[in-house]
């Protein structure tokens, strides 16, 4: 099961890198960020396919998308000084709580 979580974490990192580059690709008019987007998303979906073999797709996708949202928001906040209001922080906290609840309490994860 640890291997599946490592592959899922790698998929999340690849997706976060790709999405961050997407914001810098200027609608795919800049070559290097555009290549990072394509390679990142191909890697993300390829890596995502492995945990989906043994874990429910909905659970894998919830973890992948939830943690991706949180990490991309954190990168935008730290690197690009994008502002987060209280409601955004509460929402991100709910996403993190949801991912934790799934991983700690759900029996679906170990299926």
Evaluate whether residue 80 is within a structural domain.
Answer: yes
Evaluate whether residue 111 is within a structural domain.
Answer: no
What pLDDT does 1 receive? 82
CB 15 within 8 A of CB 40: yes
Q: Kindly tell me if the per-residue pLDDT of 37 is higher than 70.
A: yes
Evaluate whether residue 37 is within a structural domain.
Answer: yes
Q: SS3 string of the chain?
A: CHHHHHHHHHHHHHHHHHHHHHHHCCCCCCHHHHHHHHHHHHHHHHHHHCHHHCCCHHHHHHHHHHHHHHHHHHHHHHHCCCCCCHHHHHHHHHHHHHHHHHHHHCCCCCC
Evaluate whether residue 48 is within a structural domain.
Answer: yes
Q: Provide the percentage of residues in the chain whose pLDDT is more than 70.
A: 97
Evaluate whether residue 110 is within a structural domain.
Answer: no
Evaluate whether residue 94 is within a structural domain.
Answer: yes
What pLDDT does 104 receive? 86
The residue range of the domain holding 59 is: 2-105
Output 39 or 107, whichever has higher pLDDT: 39
Whole-angstrom distance, CA of residue 32 vs CA of residue 21: 9
Evaluate whether residue 6 is within a structural domain.
Answer: yes
pLDDT tens per residue, range 51-83: 999 988 888 999 999 999 999 999 999 998 999
What pLDDT does 110 receive? 62
Evaluate whether residue 16 is within a structural domain.
Answer: yes
Mean pLDDT of 5-16: 97
Q: Kindly tell me if the per-residue pLDDT of 25 is higher than 80.
A: yes
Report how many domains make up the chain. Answer: 1
pLDDT-derived band at 105, boundaries 50, 70, 90? confident
Whole-angstrom distance, CA of residue 111 vs CA of residue 109: 6
């Amino acid at each position: 099961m640890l291997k599946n979580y490592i592959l899922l974490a790698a998929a999340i990192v690849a997706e976060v890198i790709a999405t961050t580059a997407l914001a810098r690709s200027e609608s795919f008019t800049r070559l290097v960020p555009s290549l990072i987007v394509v390679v990142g998303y191909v890697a993300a979906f390829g890596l995502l396919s492995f945990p989906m073999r043994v874990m429910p797709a909905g659970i894998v996708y919830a973890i992948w998308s939830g943690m991706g949202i949180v990490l991309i928001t954190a990168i935008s906040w730290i690197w690009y000084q994008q502002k987060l209001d209280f409601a955004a922080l509460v929402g991100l906290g709910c996403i993190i709580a949801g991912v934790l609840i799934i991983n700690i309490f759900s029996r679906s994860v170990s299926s």
